[in-house]
Amino acid sequence: MVSVEKKNTSPQQEVLEKALQVKGVSLWRDAAKRLRKNWAAMGSLYFLVVLALLITFTPLLPLQSPTELNLKDRQYQSPGFGAATLGSSEDLKFKDRSLVAELASYDEEKSNLVDQIAKETDTEKRTELELELATKQGIGHPFNKLWHRPGYITKALIRTRLLVFGDYCIPSLCGTDDSGRDVLSRIFWGGRVSLVVGLVATLVSLIIGVFYGAVSGYLGGIYDAIMMRAVDILYSIPFIFVVIFLITILTEDSNKAFLESYGIDKIVIFYFAIGAIYWLTMSRVVRGQVLSIKNEQYIDAARAIGVSTFPIVFRHVIPNVMGVVIVYLTLTIPAVMLFEAFLSFLGLGVSAPDVSWGLLVNEGVKAVTPNKIYWWLVLFPGLALAGTLFSLNFLGDGLRDALDPKMKNR
């Protein structure tokens, strides 16, 4: 029976079927296969994914308050397993010394007020009540006493956390700092700032660098020469010093007020200042790649059917340099994070009540005295920072090896 069936199909069809079974291996699939074999890079990747998830959903985790001061009995506690609950401090004057109970009474009072406003007919009294409601939602909100200016999403996440875990908190596994704040919780909230600065500033540098490098490489000739000479000059400027200078001037009171009227605050200045340094190397890398692919046939084909310069750059050139860009990206993020930590450490970056890892290490170093060693204030934030930088570097190295065709079959 089998032989009869075989006779029915022509040899051409057979070859075609065989050919269909063979799947082409794209560059990305090949790279992914090689990356999966590199256990150090994969371990780093998993670590970073877990870290990113934890940091994104920090408000959901049963952590203590990162900002609540407790100067009476919780200063400089060494790491331990003492139980802690939210809103238990006497200074907060929470109902039943519990955030859950306080939140319930707050919600009740708020809905009462809203009802009153709806019923009130006298306009004067009505505005008075509306003012009261606004204060209540602002400073009066119990969340604002325990967290620094939580946004809507953060508030919703904290509410979910209260539903799931109640007032329970993870004990101060990493100790407490000079103001009695829980270090573990501050590491998590500080990680949000550190990672966001790393990502956004890298994104800024990516956009500038890729665009500049691609245009310069593609246009070539005199444009390329001028654009790259400019990069050379910028390279020989010690940028870190200029950025420090820039940040001091832009955060001067008068300039600050001016910039804030346009909605630009210190963190935004930060993103752009840092992004403005790191685009240089990116543009060089991209230019080199563009030079090598701009004579490929598919670019000629695009030009032949009449596509103009910028669509070619965006649709054909840039997508093809992405491999190198991604590698460089994973190596830029740790550099940027380190720079942020560095500036915050010097007192020129993120400032209280915001926290970042650099700031935490700085606070730890300030607390070091000959009399008493608060090692946990330096060690744990330092570990968080070093661990993240370490895995980003490892992942970058792994990606570079995986995407490098020379490393094939090794």
Partner 1 sequence: MIQFLVKRFLWLIVTLLIVYTVSFFLMRSVPGGPFQGEKQLPPTIQRNIERRFELDKPLSYQYFSHLNKIVFQFDFGPSYRLKDYTVNEVIASGFPVSMSLGVFALSFALVLGVSAGVVSAMYRHSVWDVTLMTVATLGIAVPNFVLASLCLIVFVFYLGILPAAGWSSLESVLLPAFCLGAPFAAYIARLTRTGMLEILNQDYIRTAYAKGLTTYSVVTKHALKMAIIPVVSYLGPATAGILTGSLVLERIFAIPGMGTHFVEAALQRDYTLAMGMILVYTLILSVMNTLVDMAYAMLDPRVKLE
Residue numbers of the site for partner 1 (CB under 8 A)? 232-233, 236-238, 240-242, 244-249, 252-255, 334, 338, 341-342, 345-348, 358, 361-362, 364-365, 368-370, 373, 375, 378-379, 382, 385-386, 389-390, 393-394
Q: Are 356 and 340 in contact (CB under 8 A)?
A: yes
φ and ψ of 17, to 5 deg: -60, -40
Q: Of the two residues 210 and 338, which places its CB atom closer to partner 1 in the complex?
A: 338
Give the residue with the Cβ less far from partner 1, 165 or 272.
272
Q: Buried b vs exposed e over 71-86: b needs ≥16 C-beta within 10 Å?
A: eeebeebebeeeebbb
CB of 275 within 8 A of CB of 302?
no
Q: Are strands 168-169 and 84-85 parallel, antiparallel or unpaired?
A: antiparallel
Q: Where are the beta strands (DSSP E) in 19-150?
A: 84-85
CB of 274 to partner 1, least distance (A): 14
| Among candidate residues 119, 117, 269, the one with its CA nearest the CA of residue 204 | 269
Q: Which is nearer to partner 1, 222 or 257 (CB)?
A: 257
- Taking the least distance from each CB to partner 1, the nearer of 101 and 379 is 379
Q: Which is nearer to partner 1, 307 or 379 (CB)?
A: 379
Smallest separation, CB 250 to partner 1 (Å): 9
Q: Are 317 and 220 contacting, i.e. CB atoms less than 8 angstroms apart?
A: no
By C-alpha distance, which of 357, 374, 380 is closest to 78?
374
Q: Which helix (H) or strand (E) holds 265?
A: none
Smallest separation (angstroms) from partner 1 to the CB of 386: 5
Cβ nearer to partner 1, comparing 4 with 233:
233
What is the closest distance, in whole angstroms, from the C-beta atom of residue 241 to partner 1 in the complex? 5
Q: Supply the minimum distance, in Å, between the C-beta of residue 276 and partner 1.
A: 12
The owner of tokens 């065709």 is: 405
Residue 376: other Cβ atoms inside 10 A: 22
In the complex, minimum distance from the CB of residue 382 to partner 1, in angstroms, rounded to a whole number: 4
Q: Least distance (Å) from partner 1 to the CB of residue 348? A: 6
Which tokens sit at 402? 């995986």
Nearer CB in complex with partner 1: 62/387: 387
